[in-house]
Amino acid sequence: MSKTPTVIVTRRWPSVVEDELREMCADVRLNEEDRPMSREQLQDALRGADCVLPTVTDPMDAETLGASGIRCKFLGNFGVGFNHIDLDAAKKAGISVTNTPEVLTDCTADIAMILMLTTARRIGEGERHVRSNSWKGWRPTHLLGTRVTGKTLGLVGFGRIACAVARRAHFGFGMKILFHDPFEPPQKAVREVGATSYPTLEQMIPDADFLSLHCPGGEKTRHLMNRERIALMKPGSFLINTARGDVIDNRALIEALKKGVIAGAGLDVFEGEPNLDPGFLELENAVLLPHLGSASRETRIAMGRRVLKNLRAWLDGAELPDRVA
């Protein structure tokens, strides 16, 4: 590595964190236009910099990381998920990889609750109804939705974000909490909300009024919610996804929503985003958000500072706080 390391940031960050990065490193190159970088541009970045700071939408797969002449030795991912990074390829290239856990837990949990409430109470439909000048006044049968309070929430995964959702749902809305996770969660978190663990996803799904996804993306969970598992959901239930888009089979979900197999879906992430399956746009019972899980000023600043904390440790030759490879 050169005495003055070159750092490339793949997308714009909150300005306060960009300023802090410039104070830390003399040679910082920002993506001034804030446009997604192509694979070729990412490969050029890896060749031209000691440190590259990508986001969760940058494909750091084996093809990208396998380019010839790579100089980069540090990937500081701006995001907690890292399924877009081929960790084996990074290790082979001698690149250290970090992420930003913990700091986005609360904001993502808030979005999961927003999606639950918005889908169940038909908030999106109501707002469009008013804006289109179609509302003719209150009436007893207008836009009847589903009550959230007292219902049963099934969580797929019981990590930090799922636990935060469970607390909001249980203590705020009196919801009964169920979960399935292949890994044993902290028992304190389970006891706090009186959660019930299920040995299999198939056993839990039929018991949930709301099913909220909180598992990592990647090949092991790709299309976890397929046609067969969606068919196990209660009639009148809702599917919520703030995890990764590829966890759901888009076509299976669109078909289920059209046929009324389930009542609705609240989605903050999509397979292949930002390219959205046009079938979703035809559905009034789908609430669609543009990946807003961590989109608060406070959280995005905290995420950037978490990247800088890991970058500083790497520059100092210290242990990386959030190493994933």
Nearest to 85 by CA among 108, 47, 57, 44: 57
* Calpha distance 300→171 (Å, rounded): 27
Q: Which of 39, 129, 291, 312 is catalytic?
A: 291
Instruction: Identify whether 273 is a catalytic site residue.
Output: yes
Catalytic entry in 125, 192, 255, 273: 273
Q: Do domains 6-102+297-315 and 105-288 have the same CATH topology?
A: yes
**Which run of H or E residues covers position 251?**
helix 250-259
Residue 99 Cα distances to 23, 41, 152, angstroms: 21, 21, 32
If you average pLDDT over residues 309-314, what whole number do you get? Answer: 98
What's the CATH fold of domain 6-102+297-315? Rossmann fold (3.40.50)
154-204, pLDDT tens digit by residue? 999 999 999 999 999 999 999 999 999 999 999 999 999 999 999 999 999
pLDDT digits (tens, 9 = 90+) for 106-157: 999 999 999 999 999 999 999 999 999 999 999 999 999 999 999 999 999 9
Structure tokens at 120: 């169940």
CATH class of 105-288: alpha beta
- Is 306 one of the catalytic residues? no
| pTM value > 0.85 | yes
User: One of 244, 300, 305, 306 is an active-site residue; which one?
Assistant: 244
Extents of the domains making up the chain: 6-102+297-315, 105-288
**Catalytic residue check, 291:** yes
For residue 298, CA distances in Å to 28, 130, 295, 312 come to 23, 31, 9, 21
